[in-house]
Amino acid sequence: MSASANKIGHNGGVAPTLKISRYRLLFPLAVLAVICLIGTGAFFYLNDAVRFPVARVEVGGKVVFTDKTQLMQIVRKHTQRGFFGLDIEQIRTEVVSLPWVRESYVRRVLPDRLHIDVVERKPALQWNDNGLVDEGGTVFYPPQLQNDAAESALWRGRFAGLPHLSGADERSDRLLETFRHYQSMLGEATPALLGLFEDGRQSQTLYLDGNVVVRLGNRYQEDRVARFRELFSGYVKDGNRSDIRFDMRYTNGFAVAALRSENLDTGYN
């Protein structure tokens, strides 16, 4: 058999290449354009406040101190955009910005309702002259306590029974922590702790039930509180546990003075 008979042909005919129509290239782009057009149309259709209005606003939770007029002003501004145009997160952010609101939960309820749950702050202490501290330790400034508010004196009286903190705003977290620590230290060995006041030099004064005043100064405060706790039960008899001032700023001792309530200017209301 000749060598040429064993050769495999490599130059056989090749099927012609198919030309891709330019219309086939444009087809996906056309489909994408149609989808975008439909999506845009649906967006504007659903965000039409006339076709899809917010028919009712429901406010849940126990709303006691929050200004309801101010709350509804926030809601009304957003409901003008219609049911599907509502920015739920923005509504929540603006509601939480109200002084008394600690948390808020906002949701749509088909077909046409907006539901807002409001969780108000629970005041635990007074802060300076026009603020409060909530149970979580956050300082806030209710409009009812501001000097220009109507019936501000009446509102101050409403919270006058709360313990009172006073000091620099940037020291609020530290003072709250210190107050609770002193409460724990004193326990039931002394009258209840009603106030902690700190001046610009961070010198501290405690006010206890029964008009008992304890001056701690700006150094060794924890040691002085512990020393006051030990001496109070032994030094002060049960029948005479009011209108007393203790000065614990001495290195190796203390001073005690009996006071008349009407002559004591504590700055504490």
Whether 17 has a pLDDT exceeding 60, the answer reads no
User: 6 pLDDT band (50/70/90 cuts)?
Assistant: low
- Between CA 17 and CA 28 the distance in angstroms is 22
Q: How confident is the model at residue 46 (pLDDT cuts 50, 70, 90)?
A: very low
115 and 171 part of one domain: no
Domain membership flag for residue 252:
yes
Whether residue 24 lies inside any domain: the answer is no
The answer as to whether 133 is a domain residue is: no
Both 258 and 174 in one domain: the answer is yes
Residue 207 domain-assigned? yes
The confidence score (pLDDT) of residue 107 equals 94
Range of the domain at 111: 56-120
d(CA 122, CA 268): 21
Together in a domain, 198 and 258: yes
In this structure, the answer to whether residues 228 and 168 fall within a common structural domain is yes
Q: Is residue 73 part of a domain?
A: yes
Is the predicted pLDDT of residue 39 greater than 60, yes or no? no
Number of structural domains, the chain? 2
More confidently predicted of 44 and 31 = 31
**Is pLDDT of 125 > 60?**
yes
Q: Does residue 206 have a pLDDT over 60?
A: yes
What is the percent of the chain with per-residue pLDDT over 70, rounded to a whole number? Answer: 76
| Residue 20, in any domain of the structure | no
Nearest to 188 by CA among 157, 233, 220, 156: 233
